[in-house]
Amino acid sequence: MEKFDKIIIGAGLYGIYAAHYCGKKGQRILVLECDEAPFKRATYINQARVHMGYHYPRSISTAMKSAGYFDRFNKDYSFCINREFDQIYATSAQYSWSDRNQFKEFCRAAGIPCEELHPERYFKKGMCDGAFLTKEYTYDAHILRDYFLEELKKYPNVQIQYGSMIREIHKTSDSYVVVEEDGREYETPYLLNATYAGTNQILEKVGYETFGIKYELCEIILCDVNDKLRDIGFTVMDGPFFSIMPFGKTGLHSLTAVAFTPHTTSYDALPTFSCQEKSGGFCSTQHLGNCNDCPAKPKTAFPYMANLAQKYMRPEYGFTYKESLFSMKPILMSSEIDDSRPTVVRVCSQKPTFVSVLSGKINTVYDLDEVLEES
Amino acid sequence: MKEKNFISAVVYVHNAENRIEKFLKALICVLEEHFEHSEIICVNDYSGDDSVEKIRQVSQTVENTSISVVNLSYFHGLEIAMNAGVDLSIGDFVLEFDNTVLDYDPEEIMKVYRRALEGYDIVSASANRREKLSSRIFYTVYDKYAINPTNKMRTESFRILSRRVLNRASHMNKTVPYRKAVYSYSGLKADNMVYQPVEGSGTDYKPGKLERRNKVELGMDTLLLFTNVGYRLSMTMSVLMLVLMLAVIIYTFIAYAVSSPVAGWTSSILFLSVAFSGLFIILSIVIKYLQLLLELVFKRQQYSFESIEKLTK
């Protein structure tokens, strides 16, 4: 049985970051990833925002935390950051949980810059009561992935195993033993669960308490845009609205809408969806497949999102459908009211150590540092 | 060939557990058959029965239309509730169903839609039956005294609106107290279609107490806001009273000269009539002021146009 200093489950940003962080210290690390490559799920399939906190006008704690890490992330990974566009946040005149003044007050309190603009410059008359030029960027997951893969080549003590299917996890007196479907076993005193949507599935295998989360099967639409829209990102807040903004450095825009991006929702502890039956064994309650490669992925909601966006944006901003990306998103149930997105680092056991991390934001990855220091 | 236009349907739901299922099924059927993309927004105006549960059940059966429910926190009444639904809708065209009584063939919905495509921004459908007496009186008074009469109004079962009308309605007014009036004031082309009600249907519908009270209040508010019947009535009355008082003053002088009344009579009557005349003059001015204020508040836009034609190059 092979032994490692740390075993990390999941090769998304959090897993790869942890592997790199510990690899630099000379630790022997094994990363287990069920897909054929890293960054194939939530790290790639999201709005690619580097959050400054604007998104959370009802959770100042989330906002301040995002703002705190914003500069650090943009400095450390500047090569994958797209800064070359105006990010416009607007508050909808109807159905918004926050209005123009509340948004301004929130930005002031959180200490994040926002410059007020005239809403009718961008939006149809009467649709938005406030518009703000903000400082928010977007990252390119593929550039970030290539950087990390290149970096990790320097550390032969870090192994990544793709296509890994975990059958079970045992706890012994001073270690965890991970058994794969093909019978291979690995032992470690430190296990990090960085699987995001699969986090409860891993916890369940060890018998630890699961997170109180709901699951949303989400669709991010990539669009070609016209010249008017090319260097602008729009986010209409704070309720059932939409966002259309540059997607990293791809030249495309991502289009999402609060009401239409989630296709179906599961409130069970383990993700249970009706499409799992149709996937032909690709995905199950015990092991989530990659929604983006699934044969049973849903039909696009582009017409709905497009109509919503056109209801708000002035007609000169044009966009056309390019492709859809699907991924599973876990949301903490405790976040329903304040719409916060805390990064949860839960230490389930010590010596041997089992840590689960759950975060929906890229730039709070530094929250891991503290827990990785312990060994 | 399915319609490419995105259509939204906004449905008012208040204690409709007996009708909602049949209604929604028919509506879904029409929308899914004829439109590529559609949505249904049910505005639940604080129903005390199982209406929402029924909507949930029906929504399990849909293929591609999207169904959502806006649950209002307390009873708002038809007008505000429908505004809430319309604000949420994203369609190029929006169907408004003020109630869930299905006394027409669902295909009527498509007739109304096709009529709208012919260039009418507002197309409504009305049943070919005698209106209730109260409705007849209301519409007669309304049509007679409307501040800027455009289309004759009558009881409508449902209507379709273009995005243009909705945009204009939201520019014109901060609040929309009575949609039908605001839509007709938008100055865009409107049409009404009459359908033959399906026999034996729609007769079991009785609005609840809250709904009835709300309707009466709405009728009064509408007459006051959108017609000058209140202004005319009160103005006429105060002018009449003013004339009467002036007559009393003249009569007092005559009586003083001709017969000799009891001491003090002349001065009291004179005082009273002069004071009342003053009061009625003030009242007339106040009414005029109120009328002006009303116009300023509710008619922020000075003009409303149907189209702009460019005739030369």
DSSP state of A313: B
| Cβ contact, residue pair B163, A304, below 8 Å | no
Q: Looking at chain A from residue 293 to 312, which residues have their Cβ under 8 Å from any Cβ of chain B?
A: 299, 303-304, 307-308, 311
How much is the pTM? 0.80
Interface contacts A/B by beta carbons within 8 Å: 30
CA distance A15 to B14: 52
Query: Closest Cα of chain A to B68: distance in Å?
Result: 10
| Cβ contact, residue pair A304, B92, below 8 Å | no
A207 phi-psi bin (left φ>0, alpha ψ -120 to 50, beta other): left
Contact A35, A11 (CB under 8 A): yes
Q: Looking at chain B from residue 14 to 53, which residues have their Cβ under 8 Å from any Cβ of chain A?
A: 36-37, 39
Whether residue B229 has pLDDT greater than 90: no
| Cβ contact, residue pair A94, B90, below 8 Å | no
B238 versus A179: which is more confidently predicted?
A179
Cα three-residue angle B129-B131-B135, rounded to 5 degrees: 160
| Cβ contact, residue pair B88, A126, below 8 Å | no
Q: What is the pLDDT of residue B223?
A: 85
B6 near A CB under 8 A: yes
CA distance B305 to B312: 20
Q: What is the pLDDT of residue B155?
A: 87
| Cβ contact, residue pair A303, B66, below 8 Å | no
| Cβ contact, residue pair A95, B88, below 8 Å | yes
A152 near B CB under 8 A: no
Nearest to B54 by CA among B88, B85, B18, B94: B18
B56 near A CB under 8 A: no
Residues of B in contact with A307 (CB under 8 A): 6, 37, 90-92
A123 phi-psi bin (left φ>0, alpha ψ -120 to 50, beta other): beta
CA distance B51 to A209: 38
| Cβ contact, residue pair A125, B91, below 8 Å | no
A26 near B CB under 8 A: no
Whether residue B306 has pLDDT greater than 90: no
CA distance B268 to B283: 22
Residue of B nearest to A95 (CA): B88
CA distance B201 to A298: 39
Q: What is the pLDDT of residue B173?
A: 64
Query: Closest Cα of chain A to B91: distance in Å?
Result: 7
Confidence of residue B202 (pLDDT cuts 50, 70, 90): low
Q: Tell how strand A49-50 and strand A232-237 pair up.
A: unpaired
Question: How big is chain B by its Cα radius of gyration, in Å?
Answer: 26
CA distance B175 to B169: 9
Contact B228, B291 (CB under 8 A): yes
Contact A327, A41 (CB under 8 A): yes
Query: Closest Cα of chain B to A196: distance in Å?
Result: 29
B68 near A CB under 8 A: yes
Q: Looking at chain A from residue 260 to 279, which residues have their Cβ under 8 Å from any Cβ of chain B?
A: 260
> pLDDT over 70 for what percent of chain B?
91
Q: What is the pLDDT of residue B226?
A: 79
| Cβ contact, residue pair A95, B90, below 8 Å | no
Query: Closest Cα of chain B to A256: distance in Å?
Result: 15
Q: What is the pLDDT of residue B305?
A: 63
Q: What is the pLDDT of residue B145?
A: 82
Q: Which residue has the tokens 């009418």?
A: B120
Residues of B in contact with A128 (CB under 8 A): none
Question: What's the helix, strand, coil split of chain A in %, to 5?
Answer: 25, 30, 40
| Cβ contact, residue pair B171, A126, below 8 Å | yes
Nearest to A307 among B88, B91, B171 (CB): B91
Whether residue B310 has pLDDT greater than 90: no
> What SS3 state is found at B241?
helix
Cβ burial B13-24 (10 Å sphere, 16+ → b, else e): bbbbbebbbebb
Specify the DSSP element, H or E, that contains A73: helix A60-76
CA distance A116 to B55: 42
Residues of A in contact with B165 (CB under 8 A): none
Q: Which pair of structure tokens corresponds to residue A368?
A: 């891991």
Q: Is the peptide bond before A352 cis (omega within 30 degrees of 0)?
A: yes
Worst-scoring range by mean pLDDT, B50-54, B68-72, B304-308? B304-308
The pLDDT of B232-253, averaged and rounded, is 88
Cα three-residue angle A240-A94-A262, rounded to 5 degrees: 5
A259 near B CB under 8 A: yes
Nearest to A160 by CA among A16, A22, A17, A21: A16
CA distance B304 to B147: 13
Q: Which stretches of chain A drop beneath a pLDDT of 70?
A: 336, 375
Which runs of consecutive H residues, i.e. helices, occur in chain B?
20-34, 51-59, 78-88, 107-117, 133-145, 163-172, 179-185, 209-226, 229-258, 265-298
| Cβ contact, residue pair B37, A304, below 8 Å | yes
Q: Looking at chain B from residue 148 to 207, which residues have their Cβ under 8 Å from any Cβ of chain A?
A: 163, 167, 170-171
| Cβ contact, residue pair B163, A303, below 8 Å | no
Nearest to A126 among B36, B64, B170 (CB): B170
A120 near B CB under 8 A: no
Sheet strand arrangement including B93-97: B66-71, B38-44, B7-13, B93-97, B158-162, B122-127, B190-195
Question: How big is chain A by its Cα radius of gyration, in Å?
Answer: 21
* B10: CB partners within 8 A, 6+ apart: B41, B43, B82, B85, B86, B89, B94, B95, B96, B97
Intra-chain end-to-end CA distance of chain A, in Å:
21
Nearest to A113 by CA among A81, A59, A71: A71
Q: What is the pLDDT of residue B149?
A: 60
